[in-house]
Structure 1
Amino acid sequence: MSNDATSPDALNHGAGVVVREATDDDRMGVRRVLDAAMLDVRADLRERIAVGDVLVAREPTREETADCVETADRETPILGALVLVRRNDAEEDAAGDDATHGDDAIHADATHDDTAHVHDAHIDAVAVRRARRGQGIGSALVRAAAERHARLTAEFDPGVRPFYDALDFSIAPVEGDSDRLRGRYGGEG
């Protein structure tokens, strides 16, 4: 998917939002959404954005809702954000134990290449503005990530299990941590 905010591939009419890769201009909006959800913000957020591992959701502009894909003069605020870590990056980082910004956040040093969208990925964070929760925005972000990766994983608290259940994730307790769950989507269990 291109970084063009008005790419036809970016539209997700099911939730009434545009989902696209974040750009460096979106970084503060992504931080605000993650901060408001009380989620750790990755120290390497800029790098994650640069390699296409951060997706954002926003309301479509008038041009986009009219099925026109001309570049919009002004973007609408970010309503939700999803941060991915490609599985091969996460495994390397876990071996190096370089987590410096949260118990389950993993610092990754990835490079962007043409095969980036076929790797398995871990959902490091997904958040939606409080006033827009329950409207399908988080689901739209996860579905967009699933279109890019063969398999997705996520670790989360039991309170958000219904969100992952509704997305058909296979869910099991995290081994050795009775307060966390691990979800898998796509591919072999």
Structure 2
Amino acid sequence: MTAEGSRPDLPADVTVERATPGDRLDVLRVLDAAMLSTDAATVDSRIDAGDALVARSARTGGVVGALVAVRPDPDRLHVDAVAVRRARRGEGIGAALVAAALDRGASDPAVAAVTATFDAELRGFYEGLGFAVRPAGGADDGADGRSERLEGRFSANGRERY
């Protein structure tokens, strides 16, 4: 459900699906390898809620990427962590995971927006997926348009705006 209405292309040997309890350890390992701090209890609760996704190799069945989304407000799905195994980066797997989270938000009538907070160097990645981006904390961009941390918002229902 990107701005263009289509999902990014995935490698032929990868599928994106909801994580299952059996994926828990793999999700934690992928996130840990990317040095992202998401605790096990959060991963467990998001798997149970259907808000954790995995990218799985069709060839090996192994998890090559993971996304964990939380619900800080009843009407918001927030991408808490997304990571792809180092050997599989640059193949569109991360973009496909985020696009699947956008689809998840759009399919839930209670969700008005999908949000993410990220480093400035990822601005183009999130803008390319249809997120409106601004400096974290709600401030307008400075004169140079740069900020260390940014936040993105994607309208899940077509009406939500910054």
Tell me the TM-score range normalised by the shorter chain: 0.7 to 0.9
Q: 1:83 aligns with which of 63, 68, 71?
A: 68
CA-CA distance at 1:13 after TM superposition: 8.9
CA separation in 2, counterparts of 1:174 and 1:149?
21
- Other-structure match for 1:183: 152
Q: 1:160 aligns with which of 122, 134, 146?
A: 122
- Other-structure match for 2:110: none
CA-CA distance at 1:145 after TM superposition: 1.1
- Other-structure match for 1:131: 87
The structure with more strand, counted as a fraction of residues: 2
Q: Which protein has the larger Cα radius of gyration, Structure 1 or Structure 2?
A: 1
String of CA shifts for 1:119-142, please: whole Å, max 9, x gaps: 530000111111111111011111
TM-score, normalised with respect to structure 1 = 0.66
- Unaligned residue ranges in structure 2 (runs of 5+): 1-6, 107-112, 140-146
Q: Hey, which bits of structure 1, 4+ residues long, moved more than 4 A?
A: none
The aligned runs of 1:27-176 (5 Å cut-off) are: 27-42=24-39, 43-61=41-59, 76-86=61-71, 90-91=72-73, 119-150=75-106, 151-175=113-137
2:148 is paired with a residue of what secondary structure? strand
Moved more, 177-186 or 145-154: 177-186
CA-CA distance at 1:176 after TM superposition: 7.2
Q: 2:9 aligns with which of 9, 14, 21?
A: 14
TM-score, normalised with respect to structure 2 = 0.76
- Unaligned residue ranges in structure 1 (runs of 5+): 1-11, 62-74, 93-118
Q: How many residues align?
A: 136
CA-CA distance at 1:49 after TM superposition: 0.7
CA-CA distance at 1:185 after TM superposition: 1.2
1:44 is paired with a residue of what secondary structure? helix
Cα root mean square deviation, aligned:
2.1
